[in-house]
Structures are given as C-alpha cells and as structure tokens.
Structure 1
Amino acid sequence: MKPVLRHDVSLLPIGMAMAGAILLTVMDAVMKGLSAGFSTLDLVAGRYVFGTLVAVPIALVMRPALPNAAMLRAHLVRTLVVVVTAGLFFYSLSILPLVEAVVFSYLSPVIMALLGRVMLGEKVAPAVAVAIAVSFAGVIVIAVGKGISVAGMGRDLWGVLAAVAAAFTYALAMVMLRARTGSDPIVGIVALQNVIAMAYVLPLSLAFGQPLSLVQAHWPWLLLAGGLGAVGHLFYAGAFKRAPAAKIGAVEYTNFIWATAIGYVAFSEIPTASATAGAALIVCGSLVLMVKRKPAAA
C-alpha cells in the first residue's frame, strides 16, 4: 500500500525543521572542533555510536512498532546514504570554515525538489532550470572568491567538492526519509538510522582508525554530538512527515545565521564577501521553487 504523505499548511513543520536545523548546526560545530586531531572515519563512528546511546533509550521509552522487513530494507539503503553524507560533510568541515561548508549545503533544497518530483511525484514550480542555474552561479561565486583554479584553491578544493557532494547525498537521504515517514514511526526511523549507521562504520573505524583514542579523550563532546544529532533528526523527521520535501528544505537557509554566529564565537571565523554573495544566490535560486504562480487564464 502506498504511504500517505501529509501536507500540513500550518507553521508546525517549519518550526520543527528550524529546531532541527539549529541542533544539527551545533552538532556540526562540535564535530568541526574534534576534526583537528582525528580522522573523518573515527568522527563518523563516534557520532553514530553516541547517537545510538541516545536514540535507542528514547525508542525504548516511546515504544514504536518494531520494524518490518520492508522498513528494514528501506532504511538499510537510506542509512548508507546518510553515512556517506556524514563522511563527506565532516571531511569538508575539517578543511572549510563552518559557514562555508554550511553554505554549500544550500544546494540541497533544489536537489530535494527535483528528487521529490522524480521519486515521490511532488509538484514543483516550472522554473526549476532557473533555480538550478542561479544556485550553481552561487557556487561559482564562492569558488572564485577562494581562487577557482586547482592551484588557487589548494586543499580547499577537496573541501568544496566534498561539501557539494554531501549536498547531493543529503538531498537524496531526505527525500528517501520523506518517502518513509508516511508509514514508519518517527522514533523508530531515527533509532534504526543510528543503529544501522553504527553497524556500518564502527567495524571500519576499529580496523583502520583509532576510535578508542577519540572516545577516551572526548566522550562528553561525542555524547553531546550524538544527542544533538538524534534529537535534531527527530525534529526533521517530524517535519518531513507533515510537509513536502521542497518546503522543509527551504528551512536549511536559516543555518547561515546559526553557522555564522557559532563560527565567529567558537572558531573566530568571519564569512567572506564571496561566501555571503554565493549564499544569497543559492538562496534566491532555491526560493524560485517556492514562488506560487497564478494559473493561466482560460
């Protein structure tokens, strides 16, 4: 049976998505702070081990229905995309200023709208091509500001490529989430995501990294990051259960505010003019998707 996707027109889904955005931005800052001394693989493993320690007790208290075979299969695939997204984004955080890494994630609402149309049959405005062009121009503006050539950008090039790739995989993961929220319990989704992600990454980290050193040195920060990630995704899952992917994706733009403030306080980072201008273009491009057009006269 095809899941029923809700379309709540109230401000509740927007408020839930904004709460999720704030919590996940703070989590990103915590992970950026840890990235200086540890590998991306260990950071991803630590994030999901401690996310499991928070999400599973919540699920035990809330007691959602146990996952059936279809739910398990779907989230095995979706969580693999989530893990790839986390790895790409945490790597970009280790190279780029927090606000710049976040700005590149603004590409995801345009991609969400496209994937929402292809995968879920959700309607989007006909000016998708314009949105993509304007958003891509924003990426170019940021790249030009950093020195667009390989020689000019240096190591930053890999951070930019990782952040852009993370925007694509994040959008795919969120649309896949939207597809499941019509039939799967929210708490179950988040708990299952953390458990499966831990199962994917922890063996690799134990084999090729040093996760025990990370945990011994920084377990309180990892617990904080795991809690922020688990609760933030609970808010996001609730928002995607109630509203289309393109609408919720637009809330990502508030991250610029939180990332700028946190980056300045925690890392003494100030957004460059190119990052600000590029963010404005990407936001404008994605907002094209939100404009309601009057139907043509008969």
Structure 2
Amino acid sequence: MSGKTVNSAILLLIIGNALAIVSDVFIKLMEPEAPVFQFAFLRNLITVLLLMPLLKRAEYGRLFEGFVVHAIRSHVLLAGLLCMVVALTTLPLATANAVFYAAPVILMVLSVLVYGERLSPLSVLAVISGFAGVLVILRPTALDFSALSALGTAFCLAVAALMVRRLPSGQSTLHKLFLNSLLAIPASFALAMWEGAPWRWEIIASAVGSAVFILGYNASVLKGYKHVDANQVTSAEYTGLIWAIAVGWLAFGEIPDLWFLTGSLMIIVPLVLIGLNQRRKRRLIHRRPGAEAQGA
C-alpha cells in the first residue's frame, strides 16, 4: 500500500487503528492490580530502543532542540499513558476507547482558551454533543476512578496535541516520538522504584507488545497522511472504535449497550461532519475560476 491515493491512505488508517487496538489489548490483558508505573517505564524504554536505530545522524545532531517543550509534553503523555492503563484494565475496551475519542473535542476548547481560536457553529455543536456523549457513555452514577482515568487520557492527549505548535519546525515525527519516550524514562523509572513492585515477565511482555503495535499505528498514520490531505481521510481514524467494539465483543465478551452506542454517535458524528465540511470547502476553493492559475 503506497498511501498515495485516497483509498490506499484510508486503508492504511483502518489497519493502523486496528494495530492501536491490539496495543490496547496487551494493556487490557494485565490485571487491574498490575504495577502501572513499571509498565510505563518498560514501554518507554522499549520504544526508545526500537526507534534509536531509525533516527538519522542529522537528528542526533539536534536531538534536544526545543527541550523544555518536549520535556513538558513527554510528561503530559506519560500521565496520559498511566491513565490509559487504569482505564483499559478496569473499563470495557470499547467504553475506554469511546471516551478517548473525546480528545479532539477537548482540543477544540483548549484551542479557544489558549490560542483564542473561534469555533464555527458546527464545532460548537461538536463540543456540546461530545461532552454530552461522554456523560451518556459513563453516566454520572458510574463516574468512578476508572471513568475519570479515561477522561484523563483524553485530556492529556488533547494537551499534547495542543503543544505540537510549540515544537521546533523541521523535526520529524519519528524524532518527536523518540523524545516523547526518552524524556519520560527518568520520571517513569523513579515512579517504578517508588511503586516497589517485583519485576514481572508478563508486564515486560505486555510492554513489548504494546510498544510494537502502537509504533505500527504511528507508522501507518505517517504513511497515510503523507501524500493526501488530512481532511480527505481523517474520518477513517474513527474505525478504531469499530475495532474496539469487535475485539471487546469477541475476545472479552463485552457487549455494548444502547447507552454506549448513543454516546459514541454523539461524540463521533459531529467530528465526522466537521471533516466532511472541511473537505467540501476545499473542493469549492479548487473549483473557483482562476484557482488553477493562482496555484501555478
């Protein structure tokens, strides 16, 4: 799959999201009482070891450019990973993933607060419907630590996405992924030592599996977005929830209820509509008289 056509890019994103769910499964297979900090340290360490041979010599020369922003962002992502482990080991797979999809909605709100962006009426609808959808899925009577952990994951993902604008230009995504894990190693190691749990082979196996498959997801995303406009294919990202429902049902016997289906639609449908609206606007721009001459 080249990823050079819209169809092949969509297929890459569908496969990539399936790989991300496999990564989640490795986490979910751990016991709820598993050492969370130990897992986080091992996954960050394994990710660094996997990515190190792939970095170019030039990237090593400017490895720590933008160190402060990278350091803050890596620890935000570390917090998100810790919340994700708690959510995935205690909530149904599809429920946790549905709440994770609230990240784009939270990002819209943060963009208004931090960068002063203005939301379109459709974006406002997405924010309201998205937060309402999370409440429908979790339901206030069931808002426990597990649910808050899933929301914490979504919030951390949104903050990390917001900080991308502050990163140095010219750094490859591979470079950013490498620093995300490298700079989180000291804190995650200190937390693992404080946790004091004995090192367990099953945790190492889960960390290796999760790291490998989430890198597979990142590679698919990189290739999927490389040659086509993001607004043409980004809706394919939401197939991850379909994978989560299917795997949760087949592997863990988790049957989604009407609350889950309704809440998921409330989160995802407005986001898909935003993507379709952006695609329509882009097509209109290209169809305007003189557009080709301006682009020449």
Equivalent residue, structure 2, for 1:90: 85
Deviates more, 1:246-255 or 1:86-95: 246-255
* Alignment partner of 1:277 is 2:262: yes
Summarize the Cα distance change of 1:162–1:138 in structure 2 as closer, same or farther, 3 Å threshold.
same
Equivalent residue, structure 1, for 2:97: 102
Larger radius of gyration: 2
* Alignment partner of 1:170 is 2:160: no
8 Å Cα contact 1:138/1:277 also seen in 2: yes
Equivalent residue, structure 2, for 1:256: 241
For residue 27 of structure 1, report the CA deviation from its aligned partner.
0.7
Equivalent of 2:44 in 41, 48, 51:
48
Summarize the Cα distance change of 1:217–1:138 in structure 2 as closer, same or farther, 3 Å threshold.
closer
Q: Distance in 2 between matches of 1:213 and 1:202?
A: 12
TM-score by length of 2: 0.78
Q: Distance in 1 between matches of 2:236 and 2:104?
A: 9
Summarize the Cα distance change of 1:137–1:90 in structure 2 as closer, same or farther, 3 Å threshold.
same
Equivalent residue, structure 2, for 1:233: 218
For residue 83 of structure 1, report the CA deviation from its aligned partner.
0.5
Q: Matched residue of 2:266: which SS?
A: helix
Q: Matched residue of 1:191: which SS?
A: helix
Q: Percent identity?
A: 23
Q: Distance in 2 between matches of 1:117 and 1:246?
A: 21
Equivalent residue, structure 2, for 1:213: 199
For residue 76 of structure 1, report the CA deviation from its aligned partner.
0.9
Equivalent residue, structure 2, for 1:65: 59
8 Å Cα contact 1:99/1:263 also seen in 2: yes
For residue 236 of structure 1, report the CA deviation from its aligned partner.
4.1
8 Å Cα contact 1:138/1:281 also seen in 2: yes
Paired letter, 1:31: I
* Alignment partner of 1:137 is 2:132: yes
Equivalent residue, structure 1, for 2:145: 158
* Alignment partner of 1:194 is 2:181: yes
Q: Distance in 1 between matches of 2:98 and 2:136?
A: 12
8 Å Cα contact 1:181/1:237 also seen in 2: no
Deviates more, 1:92-101 or 1:172-181: 172-181
Summarize the Cα distance change of 1:14–1:115 in structure 2 as closer, same or farther, 3 Å threshold.
farther
Structure 2: gaps of 5 or more residues: 285-296
RMSD: 3.3
For residue 167 of structure 1, report the CA deviation from its aligned partner.
0.8
Paired letter, 2:105: V
Paired letter, 1:143: L
Q: Matched residue of 1:34: which SS?
A: coil
* Alignment partner of 1:290 is 2:275: yes
Q: Distance in 2 between matches of 1:191 and 1:110?
A: 27
CA offsets 1:63-105 (integer angstroms, 9 cap, x no match): 4522355332221111111101111111111211111000001
Q: Distance in 2 between matches of 1:14 and 1:116?
A: 27
For residue 22 of structure 1, report the CA deviation from its aligned partner.
2.4
